[in-house]
Amino acid sequence: MSEILGLKAKLGLDVFKHDSEPHIRIKAGMEKDPRLKKAVLVCPAGLYSLNDAGEVEFTIDGCLECGTCRLACGTEVLDWNYPTGGAGVQFRFG
Amino acid sequence: MNIVVALKQVPDLQQIRLRNRQPVLDDVPLTLGNIDKNALEAAVALKEAQGGNVIALSAGDENIEDTIKEALAAGADEAFLVADDQLQGAESSWIATVLAEAVKKIDQVDLLLFGEGSADNYSGQVGSRVAEILGWPQVAYAINIEVNGSTAAVTRSLEDCDEIVEVSLPAVITVLSDINEARIPSVTQILKAGKKPKEVLELDDLDVELPDGSPVETISNLAPDSQRKKVVVKTVDELLQALAAEGVIRR
Amino acid sequence: MEKFDVIVVGGGLAGLAAAYTLAQEDLEVLVLERGDYSGAKNVTGGRLYLNPVRDLFPDLWKKAPLERFIAHEEVAMMAEKRSVTIRYSGEELRQEPYQSYSVLRAKFDRWLAKQAERKGAMLVAKSRVDEVIIENGQVVGVRAGGDELHADVVIACDGALSLVAEQAGLRQPGNPHDFAVGFKEIIELDPAVIEDRFGLEGNEGAARLYMGEVTRGKFGGGFLYTNKESLSLGIVVGIKDLMDGSPQVQAPQLLDDLKQRPEVASLIRGGQTVEYSAHVIPEGGLKALTKLYGNGILVAGDAAGFSMNIGVTVRGMEYALASGYYAAQAVLKAREAGQYTANQLSVYELLLKDSFVMKDFQNFKDAPTALDNPRFFTVYPEMVTTMMSELYAVDDGPKERIYPTIKKHLTIREMWDMLGDFRKVRKL
């Protein structure tokens, strides 16, 4: 069987090009917003997590730019854009 | 002032994946080496400060006609290419011979810039070899270049000091990536790149005779072997013991 | 400031189809693609149905880098501990011209971009459009990396979220109910092994859908396509259902669980995962389509919502190619008329209505509601597989007669519910 890789290892297979700043940000003060908590469930790259303080934390590294969090959480809690040209994930198979 | 910048077409290193420790090069996009782009940026900055003409020079397979557009977009005024499929993967001494012959065909070259080494093989030889063939002085490890008439003051970054040397022109200067941050061309610059003048020669147009067979042969090109040890630990103590056994930490 | 006849935002299938068609008619077309190359940001399950679009681009297909033609259609109903797989192999699937092919977008789109460039389209990669320029209610161009670029028409082909159409006021950010998310692994395997495991001759391919337990009863399913030297294995699941919990599961877990199912594990054994990708998919059908045109702007492909899930097939790429083509035709007509108002560009919608694109969306307008029924993903797979289990069981006692076995599962109440479910499906 093609082994079960951890998500980090799986994302490590992809090509990511560096961007000068993160293209998705949690808006200030929205870390505990219930809408944001949906992201923990929907993100295929598992980039959102809930910490002990009940806040959602997010890391941009490994973002597949799929758009699911923008739809699930909305633009009131997320500052959402695509990475600048030539940055971000570059699929070799797609 | 005519500044020639030699650039090498290389596979986009970030796009290369490994299969059985071997690089897979199929379908990997081609680009220009990063340090080469720094050399180009240095030339364009000199031109912007003092006037002149920047010529992007490259030798490689026929794809370079397309790849060189990156240099034309990033500020080169024209391109001079030796595009010949015989040059695919050619070894440093051949490329040096071809580039030197090409430089002879360009009028009045004052400066010839290279990156310190290519992004793929990094033999670091081509600049020096070309200087030798042309009989020009060479300055390596450049992190700053100032041209004053018929000489240039070049700052070299050495291990524990910076050295400033003066060199008479024409000269070959090889640069380090620290010299600058290469600019990212805009859409309009990319579009204009296609319309800039390009002179494309084949090997037959040059006065060179390439030897049969290469003096340097690549025997193997393997990624470092990184095998998992597959040690399962259940407690922090076990982890510490395992790391100590590997010599990673000391108990 | 540069001025073009047309600026296409996004060098995927819709954008490239538009650019290819316009460049062929000698228009000055600029395609802006934010990836390193066309296809770098694109994901498909992936299968492309060629028949509906073959004639729109007659010269294109001979050398296209398609993977395998699909000769075997399979559906696996997955219950928690058992599954039933149906494999359909029809002679017509093995005859040229082949109906559908598995594809990998990074390869296919890069190739298509080259074909568009050969026709004269200008393609600039690594370039993100930051803003739409609107003057007096008319879209007149875009801003990209500090450059202001103008055109008679902008065609928004920037994918399922289409920030361009949003900025131009043609759509809202989108409702999670109208979208699914797909995520998949590319698993490399020796072609001979693929052909052996899936019973394929030469360049034949297989497509398998998994429904039921794989999405824990949520709207969606799993998919597996054979490529030349790899498998595309993934999950598509409704975003709304994922958000709602019940049962609560993190999306990536679904794919890991699918991989560990014995039915799947044996197919991917020894394979190397080489890529993990994900993308949202518009699945809202007709009612979720965006406004397709405005002053100086058209919307095509996923950006407009042209993708459809009708249960047994999920389609999008041929709608992208076709809508790009018809957007180009609309531009050509507008050019003849010498104006690019919304009124003039509305011909795009008429062209689509006359084509398979809108006819499909009209015919399957009830698909999202009919299929949005958790029973399809829980009750039926469980029922069918349990029935099979009992039909095949030989226990230590006497075997139960066959008819009562079936009847036990098909109570009057159950049949009544089924009737209700399938009455809705009848509309498809």
The enclosing domain of C14 has a CATH number of: 3.50.50.60
Question: Which of C100-114, C230-244, C376-390 shows the lowest mean pLDDT across its residues?
Answer: C376-390
Beta-ladder partners of C278: C183
Mean pLDDT over residues B78-90, rounded?
93
| pLDDT (0 to 100) of residue C56 | 95
Q: What is the 3-state secondary structure (H, E, C) of B51-89?
A: CCEEEEEEEECCCHHHHCHHHHHCCCCEEEEEECHHHCC
Please indicate, yes or no, whether residues C115 and C222 belong to a single structural domain of this protein. Answer: no
Q: Given CB atoms, is A90 within the 8 Å cutoff of chain B?
A: yes
Mean pLDDT over residues C103-122, rounded?
97
Among candidates A47, A94, A77, A57, which has minimal Cα distance to C251?
A: A47
Please indicate, yes or no, whether residues C315 and C263 belong to a single structural domain of this protein. Answer: no
Counted across chains A and C, CB pairs separated by less than 8 A come out at 165
Convert the pLDDT of each residue in C60-82 to its tens digit. 999 999 999 999 999 999 999 99
- Whether B236 maps to a domain, the answer reads no
3-class secondary structure, C63? coil
CATH number (domain holding residue B83): 3.40.50.620
CB contact under 8 A, A45 and C278: yes
- CA of A68 to nearest chain B CA: how many angstroms apart? 26
Over 90: is that where the pLDDT of B167 sits?
A: yes
User: Which of C145, C176, C275 comes nearest A92 by C-beta?
Assistant: C275
Chains in contact with C, where contact requires at least 3 CB pairs less than 8 Å apart: A, B
Mean pLDDT over residues C93-98, rounded?
93
- Whether C301 maps to a domain, the answer reads yes
Confidence band of B223 (pLDDT split at 50, 70, 90): confident
| pLDDT (0 to 100) of residue C422 | 77
Please indicate, yes or no, whether residues C374 and C305 belong to a single structural domain of this protein. Answer: no
- Whether B229 maps to a domain, the answer reads no
Mean pLDDT over residues A12-24, rounded?
96
Confidence band of B202 (pLDDT split at 50, 70, 90): very high
Mean pLDDT over residues B191-198, rounded?
95
Q: Please name the residue of chain A whose CA is at the shortest distance from the CA of residue C228.
A: A93
Convert the pLDDT of each residue in A62-82 to its tens digit. 999 999 999 999 999 999 999
| pLDDT (0 to 100) of residue A3 | 63
Residues in chain C within 8 Å Cβ distance of A7: 252
Residues in chain C within 8 Å Cβ distance of A47: none
| pLDDT (0 to 100) of residue A1 | 44
Residues in chain A within 8 Å Cβ distance of B14: 15, 17, 90
Convert the pLDDT of each residue in B19-62 to its tens digit. 888 999 988 999 999 999 999 999 999 999 999 999 999 999 99
Distance of CA A82 to the CA centre of its chain: 11
ipTM of the complex as predicted: 0.96
Q: Please name the residue of chain C whose CA is at the shortest distance from the CA of residue A83.
A: C128
Confidence band of C404 (pLDDT split at 50, 70, 90): confident
Among candidates C228, B92, C179, C421, which has minimal Cα distance to A74?
A: C179
> How many Å apart are CA A18 and CA A88, to the nearest integer?
6
Convert the pLDDT of each residue in C159-207 to its tens digit. 999 999 999 999 999 999 999 999 999 999 999 999 999 999 999 999 9
Over 90: is that where the pLDDT of C143 sits?
A: yes
Confidence band of C380 (pLDDT split at 50, 70, 90): confident
> How many Å apart are CA B142 and CA B154, to the nearest integer?
6
Over 80: is that where the pLDDT of B229 sits?
A: no
Over 70: is that where the pLDDT of C313 sits?
A: yes
- Whether C96 maps to a domain, the answer reads no
Residues in chain C within 8 Å Cβ distance of A43: 250-251
Please indicate, yes or no, whether residues C30 and C142 belong to a single structural domain of this protein. Answer: yes
- Whether C412 maps to a domain, the answer reads yes
State in words which class domain A17-82 has: alpha beta
User: Which of B15, B27, B184 comes nearest A90 by C-beta?
Assistant: B15
Convert the pLDDT of each residue in B94-149 to its tens digit. 999 999 999 999 999 999 999 999 988 888 999 999 999 999 999 999 999 999 99
Please indicate, yes or no, whether residues C30 and C128 belong to a single structural domain of this protein. Answer: yes
**The domain containing residue B58 runs over which residues?**
2-221
Q: Given CB atoms, is B190 within the 8 Å cutoff of chain C?
A: yes
| pLDDT (0 to 100) of residue C381 | 85
Please indicate, yes or no, whether residues C415 and C331 belong to a single structural domain of this protein. Answer: no
Distances (CA, A) of B186 to B44, B76, B101, C32, C128: 15, 14, 33, 12, 11
| pLDDT (0 to 100) of residue B228 | 73
- Whether C364 maps to a domain, the answer reads no
Mean pLDDT over residues C418-428, rounded?
77
Q: Are C183 and C252 in contact (CB under 8 A)?
A: yes
CB contact under 8 A, C37 and B15: no
Number of structural domains found in chain C: 3
Contact map slice: B 159-188 vs A, CB within 8 A: 184
Please indicate, yes or no, whether residues C211 and C319 belong to a single structural domain of this protein. Answer: no
What are B177's two structure tokens?
């990536």
- CA of A32 to nearest chain C CA: how many angstroms apart? 16
- CA of C281 to nearest chain B CA: how many angstroms apart? 26
User: What does DSSP assign to residue B242?
Assistant: H
> How many Å apart are CA C34 and CA C392, to the nearest integer?
55
CB contact under 8 A, C181 and A92: no
H/E stretch holding C29 reads strand C29-32
Residues in chain C within 8 Å Cβ distance of B15: 36
Mean pLDDT, chain C, whole residue set: 93
Mean pLDDT over residues B69-86, rounded?
96
- Whether C349 maps to a domain, the answer reads yes
H/E stretch holding B198 reads strand B198-201
Over 50: is that where the pLDDT of C126 sits?
A: yes
Convert the pLDDT of each residue in C5-33 to its tens digit. 999 999 999 999 999 999 999 999 999 99
CB contact under 8 A, C147 and B187: yes
Over 60: is that where the pLDDT of C287 sits?
A: yes
Q: Please name the residue of chain C whose CA is at the shortest distance from the CA of residue B18.
A: C274
Which of C225, C255, C282 marks a domain boundary? C282
Q: Please name the residue of chain A whose CA is at the shortest distance from the CA of residue B185.
A: A85
Q: Are A25 and A78 in contact (CB under 8 A)?
A: yes
**The domain containing residue C220 runs over which residues?**
177-282
What are C47's two structure tokens?
């299968």
What are B169's two structure tokens?
């022109």
> How many Å apart are CA C379 and CA C366, to the nearest integer?
21
Predicted structure pTM score: 0.92
Please indicate, yes or no, whether residues C217 and C299 belong to a single structural domain of this protein. Answer: no
Residues in chain A within 8 Å Cβ distance of C105: 91, 93-94
- CA of C260 to nearest chain A CA: how many angstroms apart? 8
CB contact under 8 A, A15 and B14: yes
Mean pLDDT over residues C386-408, rounded?
82
Q: Given CB atoms, is A35 within the 8 Å cutoff of chain C?
A: no
Q: A30-34 long-range contacts, Cβ below 8 Å, gap at least 24? A: A30/A76, A30/A77, A30/A78, A31/A55, A31/A56, A31/A57, A32/A56, A33/A77
- CA of A13 to nearest chain C CA: how many angstroms apart? 6
Q: Are C177 and C281 in contact (CB under 8 A)?
A: no
Number of structural domains found in chain B: 1
Please indicate, yes or no, whether residues C32 and C142 belong to a single structural domain of this protein. Answer: yes
| pLDDT (0 to 100) of residue B251 | 62
Over 90: is that where the pLDDT of B216 sits?
A: no
The beta strand positions in C283-367, using DSSP E, are: 293-294, 297-299, 308-309, 314-315
Over 90: is that where the pLDDT of C420 sits?
A: no
- Whether C125 maps to a domain, the answer reads yes
Altogether, the residues listed in chain C come to a count of 428
Mean pLDDT over residues B73-80, rounded?
98
